[in-house]
Amino acid sequence: MRAQRVWKVNGGASIGQLQSRLDDLNKRLGQLENQHPESWKLEELKSSALSLSREIDDIRCAEATAALSELLRK
């Protein structure tokens, strides 16, 4: 049996919504870095931003895989 990559995708959120949340996080990160460069909150926001980035990548990969599968079926 062949191994197959499985993507965990948040079906309720679109890439646009996730990208908007990521943009907001990045804006807050920039503000916090300027005001409090030593803040523990920076690491928490960076972690959240990375998580959102991964979720966006997972959705894009799942969409690309589905499109490629459809092309290969034809």
* Model pLDDT for residues 16-46, shown as the tens digit of each residue: 899 999 999 999 899 888 888 777 788 888 8
Q: DSSP states of 52-71 as a string?
A: HHHHHHHHHHHHHHHHHHHH
Q: What percent of the chain has pLDDT over 70?
A: 84
Residue 73 has pLDDT above 50, yes or no: yes
Tell me the mean pLDDT in the region 49-74: 91
Residue 7 has pLDDT above 50, yes or no: no
CB 14 within 8 A of CB 48: no
Q: Domain spans of the chain?
A: 39-73
Global confidence as pTM: 0.67
